[in-house]
Structures are given as C-alpha cells and as structure tokens.
Amino acid sequence: MAKALRIIAYLLISPTGFIIALPLAFWLLGGLLNFSSLEQLFAALATLGIVLLVRRSAMRRRLGLLLLDLAAFGLLISPLAWRMSVVPISRFATPAVVLPGAIFLLAFAGYLFLSIWVYCLQRRSANA
C-alpha cells in the first residue's frame, strides 16, 4: 500500500513545462521516446528508479535493499532536479507539483526511516 502511494504520488507530480503542465508519467513516456536528448537520459533514470521500487523485497531488511531504496530515491529525484534547472523555479510553485511532491517525499522519507530502524533492530537482536 505504501509503495503504491509513493509511486502514484510521484507519477502525478505535474511540473509546468514551457507551455502546459503534464503529469510526470507522460513526461517519462515522452522522454524515453525523445532520442538524442538529455531528457531521454533522465527519463531512463527515473524509469529505472520506478523499477527498483516495484521489485519484490524480502520481509527481512538487508543492507543491500536499503542501498537500493536510496539509489531509487536518487534516480527518481534526478529528472525533477534537472527540470528545475531548465525551467524557471517559479513554475514549480503550483499545487499540482507541491501536493504530490510533498506526499512522495514524506512517504519515501518515512519508509526509509522505518526501514533503517527495523534493520538496526534486526542487527541488534541478531548480535545479542
């Protein structure tokens, strides 16, 4: 449930482009098909991040899974950071960006915090 919330919130972020705002899901699809462009690289990185999030994870937290989650977070943030460097930052101060973006960031940060906490508890109980 929480994984779906993070992915849906991410795909609903609608950054304003040069003309109109489109949900990030459409930008990712268009970016993957836009050959010989820097957009294609960032769309591929974000798609890889989504694939890393969707993967099946074990019930037991391992350090490798935590590192993959951190890598997925970085890959998902990269196209947004790149887009903010291309388009004026004032175009990102809309509810279509702020609300899903805040939900995505809070849900992902909470998930990472709980995962690290559970991992530390499991390590402590295994060493005891």
Tens-digit pLDDT profile for residues 10-28: 888 887 765 566 788 887 8
70-125: pLDDT as tens digits = 888 888 888 888 888 887 778 788 888 889 989 999 999 998 898 888 888 888 88
Q: What is the pLDDT of residue 106?
A: 92
Q: What is the pLDDT of residue 23?
A: 82
Question: Coil, strand or helix: which one is 16?
Answer: strand
Taking Cα atoms as reference points, which of 67, 57, 73, 61 lies closest to residue 117?
A: 61
Taking Cα atoms as reference points, which of 110, 39, 97, 45 lies closest to residue 72?
A: 45
Is residue 91 classed exposed, middle or buried when 0-12, 13-18 and 19+ CB atoms within 10 A define those classes? Answer: middle
What are the φ and ψ backbone dihedral angles of 53, each rounded to 5 degrees? Answer: -70, -35
pLDDT of 60 over the 60 cut: no
pTM of the shown model: 0.77
